[in-house]
Structure 1
Amino acid sequence: MDFHGIDLNLLVAFDALVSERNVTRAAARVGISQPAMSAALSRLRKLFGDPLFLRSAAGLVPTPRARDMAEPLSRALRQIEHTLVKKPEFVPAEASQTFTIGLSDYPAFVLLPALLEALGQKAPGASLSVHAFTDRDHAVDLLDAGTIDAAVGVPPMHMDGRIFTRPILRDEFVTVIASNHPAARRGLNMKTWLALPHVLVSPEGERYGLVDQALARTGKRRSLALTLPQMFAVPAIIARTRMTATLMKRVALNSPASRKLVMLPPPIELPEVVFDLIWHRRGNSHPAQQWFRELIASVAASL
């Protein structure tokens, strides 16, 4: 077997560059200096006859050749690591580390209390650090920077193979109005619904949500009376006004104002909302992080 003088350490450097998209972070990951990583990149470019990574405002961007090689080489390196290095066993009951997680508002509200309870039962010496994000791709930035071990939120738009996802939470939309609203007795058809002032929850500040997209396909529009970034204030607002809102069912059910609301099916078909468990390739095979991800998934399944 002849690998034409290829240094295995160069492939390790390549794998780190693919994961980190940054020479300095890649060097820290494999335990070498930044100049040594730059030299390794130069040797890789010469070896493969390709630039492999191009600089951009967002960091290093892999070329098509690098993207083609990334996953096969990563699998091969993980197999070599598995064969040559026995990984330490993770014992939850003896763990004393801090796990880090990024949560958007909805999973923080729905998932976090049960997750903390389960973590306290299974790994009482461990702790949890929570980081908030609103933009779906902000979770990827936090993972790239190593700020968090995992995230739960709406699937990111851009992953490039280094970010893994797994759907773990689902919810459906309901339309809510105050229980003393005249429409609560008559019911909501499309005409009545469109005549009401609407509340839009938009974490990213847009005035055009899923409901508006669905309406646009039918040539209809609704009248927005309020746009706000936080969904959990909405049930109390609806209970005290003549407005209506279409939001996720668990938010309405778990609100203190739920007894003053009527929940109805939206008069337009809306998709189910899916929240993903999101993590970086660098932690994919780490025993403690694997356990943490399975704990998150099992708690979500119990809901």
Structure 2
Amino acid sequence: MKNNELNLIPIFVAIYEEQSLSKAATRLEISQPAVSKALSRLRDIYQDPLFNRSTAGVEPTGFSVDIYPAMAAALQNYKSTLISSRDFAAEKSNRVLSIACLSSISYHLMPAVFARIHKIAPNISLDIHPLFAEDYESDLRLGKYDLVLDLEPQGRTTLKTEVVLRGTFKACCRGDHPRIKPGELTKEQFNQEEHVAISRWHNRRHILTDLGVTELENRKVIYSAPGLLEAIPVIAISDCISLVPSIMAQECERLYGFQVHDVPFEISAQNVCSIWHPSRNHDAAHLWLRAQIRSCAKDLEFI
């Protein structure tokens, strides 16, 4: 698509979402013949019908379904540059802000973020997603997410990051564990017991595997959970132990009667970061969102 054909993108998106040429014309405030002419040009460019007639209007072809996410993201990114060039009035905004985060972030931090945002800007909605994919850059660049909250990225990245939380882990097991008594977890016991580990959705690697700690690499993991909330019931009904973020360990002790132990070997504190695409650096709404997360996170020890 040439530069002078970029104005076809909003027409494609409108037809796709309205599934009607006349409704797309009304939405765009242009004539239906102009929409038809633009669709004809799009068909020439992509060598595909794009939309077929249906009883209710038009329906997208398989090719249209494939390209719609990228077209919609391109249009949204363009709109965001217009929004960012003006002052952002949170109290009047009705935007939907999309955030992907670790399950423990979703459990512990996001309720506070929601409460703060809803009080300040009651018409703003939050759309929270689990971290399904490892390719943040693609998801953030295409506008699938506004922001990601995850452990600090390792290695080189073009994405922007800001540390919002930092803390340590505790070892947890059920209160009536047959071999581990309160205050008595040793390194030998840690190595001998079976473990529940938390894994990432996209590659099933355990979250703490890459820290270079021998005890973590040699754990006998017999249950890999996709998130902390999924791990808790397994810990509660088994003799397994698990590493849990410190502030969540307090919740586990209070709600489930877990034993909570210091980890019997050195494990470095971990950073949790806000992560975003550099194109959003100066987006007024995005700056505001990051500030709300920063404010809610400042009193927390960890995720």
After TM superposition, the score normalised by the length of structure 1 is 0.64
Residue identity opposite 1:205 in structure 2? R
Q: In the alignment, is residue 153 of structure 1 matched against residue 185 of structure 2?
A: no
Contact 2:182 2:259 in 1 (8 A): no
2:273 partner letter: D
Distance 1:23 1:147 in 2: 24
- Residues 1:143 and 2:140 aligned together: yes
Q: Any idea what the Cα deviations from partners look like across 1:42-97, whole Å, max 9, x if unmatched? A: xxxxxxxxxxxxxxxxxxxxxxxxxxxxxxxxxxxxxxx9xxxx942222222222
After TM superposition, give the deviation of residue 158 of structure 1 in Å: 6.2
Partners of 1:130 and 1:259 in 2: CA distance: 26
Name the stretch that deviates more: 224-233 or 279-288.
224-233
Higher relative contact order (CA 8 A, sep 6+): 2
Superposition pairs of residues 267-282 of structure 1, within 5 angstroms:
267-282=264-279
- 1:91 corresponds to which residue? 89
1:121 is matched by which residue type in structure 2? Answer: K
CA contact (8 A) 2:160 2:276 kept: yes
In the aligned structure 2, how far is the partner of 1:23 from the partner of 1:231?
48
SS of match in other structure, 1:254: helix
**Aligned-partner SS, 1:285:** coil
CA separation of 1:223/1:127 partners in 2, compared to 1, >3 Å: closer, same or farther? closer
CA positional deviation for 1:179: 1.6
Match of 1:215 in 2: 214
Correspondence for 2:119 among 118, 121, 124: 121
Aligned twin of 2:164:
168
Please state if 1:231 is matched with 2:228. Answer: yes
Match in the other structure for 1:240: 237
Q: 1:69 aligns to what?
A: none
Matches for 1:9-48 after TM superposition, within 5 Å: none
Aligned residue identity for 1:125: N
After superposition, the CA RMSD in angstroms is 3.6
1:139–1:211 CA distance, 2 compared to 1 (3 A):
closer
TM-aligned CA deviation for residue 168 of structure 1: 0.3
CA drift of 1:120 comes to: 0.6
Deviation at 1:282, TM superposition (A): 1.4
Contact kept, 8 Å, 1:104 with 1:134, in 2: the verdict is no
Which residue is 2:54 aligned to?
none
Alpha-carbon displacement from aligned partner over 1:216-271 (angstroms, at most 9, x marks no partner): 69xx8332222222222323322322211122123332348744211101111111
In structure 1, runs of 5+ residues without a counterpart are 1-21, 32-80
What residue in structure 2 maps to residue 290 of structure 1?
A: 287
- 1:192 matches 2:189: yes
TM-aligned CA distance change 1:169 to 1:121, over 3 Å: same
**Who is 1:131 aligned against?**
129
Distance of 2:237 and 2:272 partners within structure 1: 30
Check conservation: 1:100, 1:150, Cα contact below 8 A.
yes
Q: CA deviation at 1:207?
A: 6.0
Query: Does the 8 Å contact 1:212/1:221 carry over to 2?
Result: no
Instruction: Check the 8 A contact 1:173/1:247 in 2, yes or no.
Output: yes
In structure 2, do the counterparts of structure 1 residues 212 and 153 end up closer, same or farther at CA, with 3 Å as the change threshold? closer
Cα shift readout 1:112-135 (whole Å, capped 9, x = no counterpart) = 111110111111121122232244
Q: How far apart, CA to CA, are the structure 2 residues paired with 1:159 and 1:102?
A: 21
Partner of 1:184: helix, strand, or coil? coil
- The answer for unaligned runs of 5 or more in structure 2 is 11-80
Where 2:229 maps in the other structure, the secondary structure is coil
Change (3 A) 1:215 1:96: same
Equivalent residue for 1:177? 173
- Equivalent pairs counted in the alignment come to 228
Asked if 2 retains the 8 angstrom alpha-carbon contact of 1:177 and 1:238, the reply is yes
Say whether the 8 Å CA contact 1:235–1:257 is kept in structure 2: no
Instruction: Give the aligned residue type for 2:266.
Output: E
DSSP 3-state at the match of 2:161: strand
User: Which residue of 2 is the match for residue 11 of structure 1?
Assistant: none
For the residues of structure 2 that align with 1:214 and 1:154, how far apart are their CA atoms?
17
**Which amino acid in 2 is paired with 1:104?**
L
